[in-house]
Amino acid sequence: MIPQELKRLSECLLNIFQVSGQASEWIMALVEEEIDGTLKETSVSRLRFSRRLGSSDAGEVTYTNAGDRELVVRDLGNNAKLEANLLFRGNTLLTKALDFHMKRLGKEYLEETLGEKLQEIADRDPDCEVDPNRIGSSHEVDRNWKRLISLTEEMWEAIASSVHRCPAELRLIFRHIRACAEDRYGDFLRTVTYSSVSGFLFLRFFCPAVLNPKLFGLLKDHPKMRARRTLTLIAKSLQGLANMSTFGAKEHWMEPMNSFLNGHRQEFKNFIDNICSISPTASTVSPIPPSYSTPLAILQRLPPTSREGFPSLPYLIDHARNFAELVQLWLDNTGELAENLAQEDGDLAKFHNICVALNARTRDSRLRYTNYVNDRGDARQ
């Protein structure tokens, strides 16, 4: 499926599960499939790493020779580290869906956490350029470094103190991501405890919002050039903090930021720990705003068929339209597989047959409506 279609599919499915109150459960199932799915397993990873070596669960072959066993464990470790470092880096149904879910659920969270700081930087339009190739004197570089580190500190402090504002539904998802990642990769890469969560919370949420605040609805207009550059450098620094890395040979001019990165690494870990420290039974139901009481009361009085045309609150999702789009997306992308799917058994074949039947009914309804309109037009003439 091409990326544009993947984005449409992820948003369509998320909308459907959102209305039915199962968005988190669906995303958590995607997390499990992406981290531990059978579709991505190789013959080596299928051994389930060192815990099952030599057991009946390890596969058809068991390793009794110590040398062979050591080689396999080493291969497993290398394979696990590679997988863990690439975790959630690509565009998949999970990453697209969770990106959209974080923007939707975390809109107010972002505004309350970063909105004021971003507006302040946009208004001040500070000069924080620290690349010697872009400015002349070393005096300017030193002055700008102090300003940049100070602003980065302020942005980080706003994030670090925001745990209690993060929506419970997102925290439960992050908790699940962490648990699944630790189960699969924890024995081979300790940092996965933090990188699995920061890969979403920072690299796909906080950092992009700092980098492009207008896109996230945090500013009305794009910042001026100097402010935009400042936000780029702050986002780059926060990304380094999230990766628990430091600047080196590739960007040696950013090395003065390493004092910030090293000095706040434990604070970053504490933040991720606190985000994930939520009971799995915590309530994710938000109180209904008073402004919704009247439309909800009216909606409840309508018969079920009349309710279908009303978008669901609070995100104004048209449930029926999303189902229709899902059917169309499926039929548009099955193509040559359609004939084989029709002859298969199982859930996928059932879903395909339902889509075909719904599409036929839709065409029939449109045809009957067109004929009805034409007949009325002829009668008036």
pLDDT digits (tens, 9 = 90+) for 12-59: 999 999 988 899 999 999 999 888 764 454 444 444 443 433 444 444
Q: What is the pLDDT of residue 156?
A: 98
Question: Band of the pLDDT at 135, cuts 50, 70, 90?
Answer: confident
Q: Produce one character per residue of 87-115: b if its CB has 16 or more CB atoms within 10 Å, e if not.
A: bbeeeebbbbbbbbbbbbbbeebbbebbb
- Only one residue has tokens 């018969």, namely 303
Q: Are 314 and 289 in contact (CB under 8 A)?
A: yes
Report how far Cα 300 is from the mean position of its chain's Cα atoms.
33
For residue 289, pLDDT over 70 is answered with: no
The residues near 139 (Cβ < 8 Å, ≥ 6 apart) are none
Lowest mean pLDDT of 64-73, 216-225, 314-323, name the range.
64-73
Neighbour tally for 277: CB within 10 Å: 10
Which candidate, 2, 4, 32, places its Cα nearest to that of 94? Answer: 32
Residue 18 to residues 14, 303, 333, Cα–Cα distance (Å): 6, 22, 24
Q: Which residue has the higher pLDDT, 317 or 223?
A: 223
Which residue ranges form the domains of the chain, and what is each CATH number? 3-43+91-276 (1.10.506.10), 318-381 (no CATH)
Q: Which residue has the higher pLDDT, 213 or 332?
A: 213
Q: What is the pLDDT of residue 246?
A: 94
Q: What is the pLDDT of residue 32?
A: 92
DSSP secondary structure of 85-152 = HTTT-S--HHHHHHHHHHHHHTHHHHIIIIIHHHHHHHHH-------TTT-S-HHHHHHHHHHHHHHH
Mean of the pLDDT values across residues 76-82?
Answer: 54
What does DSSP assign to residue 310? S
Q: Which residue has the higher pLDDT, 149 or 320?
A: 149
- Only one residue has tokens 């990873």, namely 45
Tell me what the pLDDT averaged over the chain comes to: 83
Q: Are 74 and 42 in contact (CB under 8 A)?
A: no
Lowest mean pLDDT of 47-51, 155-159, 179-183, 325-329, name the range.
47-51
Q: What is the pLDDT of residue 343?
A: 72
Question: Band of the pLDDT at 10, cuts 50, 70, 90?
Answer: very high
pTM of the predicted protein model:
0.80
pLDDT tens digit string along 209-267? 999 999 999 999 999 999 999 999 999 999 999 999 999 888 999 999 999 999 999 99
Q: What is the pLDDT of residue 127?
A: 95
The rounded radius of gyration (Å) of the Cα atoms in the chain is 26
For residue 3, pLDDT over 80 is answered with: no
For residue 66, pLDDT over 70 is answered with: no
Q: Are 236 and 130 in contact (CB under 8 A)?
A: no
d(Cα 145, Cα 94) in Å, to the nearest integer? 38
Q: Kindly report the CA angle at 12 between 9 and 13, in degrees rounded to 5?
A: 85
Identity at 265, one-letter amino acid code: R
Q: What is the pLDDT of residue 337?
A: 75
Lowest mean pLDDT of 60-74, 150-164, 190-204, 267-281, name the range.
60-74
DSSP secondary structure of 216-245 = TTS-SSPPPHHHHHHHHHHHHHHHHHHHT-
At residue 317, what are phi and psi to the nearest 5 degrees? -95, 130
Lowest mean pLDDT of 288-302, 312-326, 329-343, name the range.
288-302
Most confident region among 197-206, 282-291, 340-349 by mean pLDDT = 197-206
For residue 146, pLDDT over 90 is answered with: yes
Lowest mean pLDDT of 86-100, 133-147, 281-295, 314-328, name the range.
281-295
Q: What is the pLDDT of residue 218?
A: 96
Long-range contacts of 180-185 (CB under 8 A, 24+ apart): 180/31, 180/32, 180/35, 180/36, 181/35, 181/84, 181/87, 183/36, 184/35, 184/36, 184/49, 184/80, 184/84, 185/80, 185/81, 185/83, 185/84, 185/87
Q: What is the pLDDT of residue 184?
A: 85
Q: Are 98 and 14 in contact (CB under 8 A)?
A: no
Mean of the pLDDT values across residues 3-8?
Answer: 82
Environment class of residue 283 by beta-carbon count within 10 Å: exposed (0-12), middle (13-18) or buried (19+)? exposed
Q: Which residue has the higher pLDDT, 190 or 116?
A: 116
Neighbour tally for 310: CB within 10 Å: 15
Q: What is the pLDDT of residue 91?
A: 86
Q: What is the pLDDT of residue 77?
A: 53
Question: Band of the pLDDT at 67, cuts 50, 70, 90?
Answer: low
Which candidate, 273, 267, 274, places its Cα nearest to that of 157? Answer: 267
